[in-house]
């Protein structure tokens, strides 16, 4: 059965690959991007089934207007993929105020406002599915990615809450959590001026690993997208979709440690109750 998809951040990376795979199988795609010229070739290949709209998710008014236009022009949209975002790559003390604001406005507020914008239309049409592209970094944390992690942990909390709110309307969510994957993510990292004091710390170690290419990237981008599409095609997918062996192992280890720490504090936790 042919589906209609809305994908943000579709000019590159996982968003672009997803649009290509969906169009190749015959689905309709509404693709948004800040640099729409990068999609001209794909538009020429699929003139009947691809709609491209300019969208900067940091502009909430534009997000609402674009969503309204796309639902109106396409009739209905089965799956909304919130994919737009980038990484701020620096220690928490190094990043600038403006960089913090832009990271949160793009990754967190932009995703929240996209979801808020599409919910009335999904309710009106009787349901739908939202795929929020997060990261293993929504469950674990690397040094030197503190602000990026803050947005991914934040959007996962928002989605988990909203998923409960809108389930009665036939709307559900998938939180996709890829591990390190072979896309252009690293090339697009935004970096603050470095502080020498962090050179011989875990933050510096991660920087050197990324810059030297020794940071292990096991995830295959095409296979990652295939798994995301397959999950979105299922009747009742799990809320969280972990993608790649690195993500599976790192999240599993983090949850195991967290549970052990919680269990060890049981008596302290219960002591805080009132009599």
Closest CA to 29 of 38, 17, 37: 17
Catalytic residue annotation: 134, 148, 152
Which distant-in-sequence residues (6+ apart) come within 8 Å of 41 by Cβ? none
Closest CA to 175 of 258, 231, 126: 231
| CA pair distance 136, 148, nearest whole angstrom | 11
**Residue 239 near residue 163 (C-beta atoms within 8 A):** yes
**Residue 139 near residue 89 (C-beta atoms within 8 A):** no
| CA pair distance 84, 106, nearest whole angstrom | 8
What the block records as the tokens of 211 is 């810059």
**Residue 8 near residue 28 (C-beta atoms within 8 A):** no
| CA pair distance 159, 132, nearest whole angstrom | 8
């Amino acid at each position: 059965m042919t589906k209609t998809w809305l994908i943000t951040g579709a000019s590159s990376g996982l968003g672009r690959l997803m649009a290509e795979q969906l169009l190749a199988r015959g689905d309709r795609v509404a693709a948004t991007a800040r640099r729409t010229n990068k999609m001209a070739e794909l538009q020429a290949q699929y003139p009947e089934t691809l709609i491209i709209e300019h969208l900067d998710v940091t502009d909430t008014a534009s997000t609402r207007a674009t969503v309204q236009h796309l639902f109106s022009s396409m009739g209905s949209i089965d799956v909304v993929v919130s994919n737009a975002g980038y990484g701020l790559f620096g220690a928490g003390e190094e990043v600038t105020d403006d960089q913090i604001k832009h990271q949160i406005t793009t990754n967190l507020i932009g995703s929240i406002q996209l979801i808020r914008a599409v919910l009335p239309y999904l309710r009106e049409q009787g349901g739908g599915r939202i795929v929020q592209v997060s990261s293993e970094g929504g469950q674990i944390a690397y040094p030197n990615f503190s602000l990026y992690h803050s947005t991914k942990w934040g959007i996962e909390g928002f989605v988990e809450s909203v998923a409960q709110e809108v389930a009665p309307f036939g709307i559900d969510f998938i939180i996709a959590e890829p591990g390190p994957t072979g896309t252009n993510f690293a090339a697009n990292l935004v970096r603050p001026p470095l502080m020498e004091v962090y050179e011989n710390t875990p933050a510096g170690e991660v920087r050197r690993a990324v810059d030297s290419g020794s940071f292990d990237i096991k995830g295959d981008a095409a296979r990652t997208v295939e798994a995301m599409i397959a999950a979105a095609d299922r009747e009742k997918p799990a809320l969280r979709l972990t993608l790649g062996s690195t993500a599976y192992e790192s999240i599993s280890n983090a949850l195991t440690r967290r549970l052990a720490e919680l269990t060890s504090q049981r008596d302290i936790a219960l002591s805080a109750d009132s009599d």
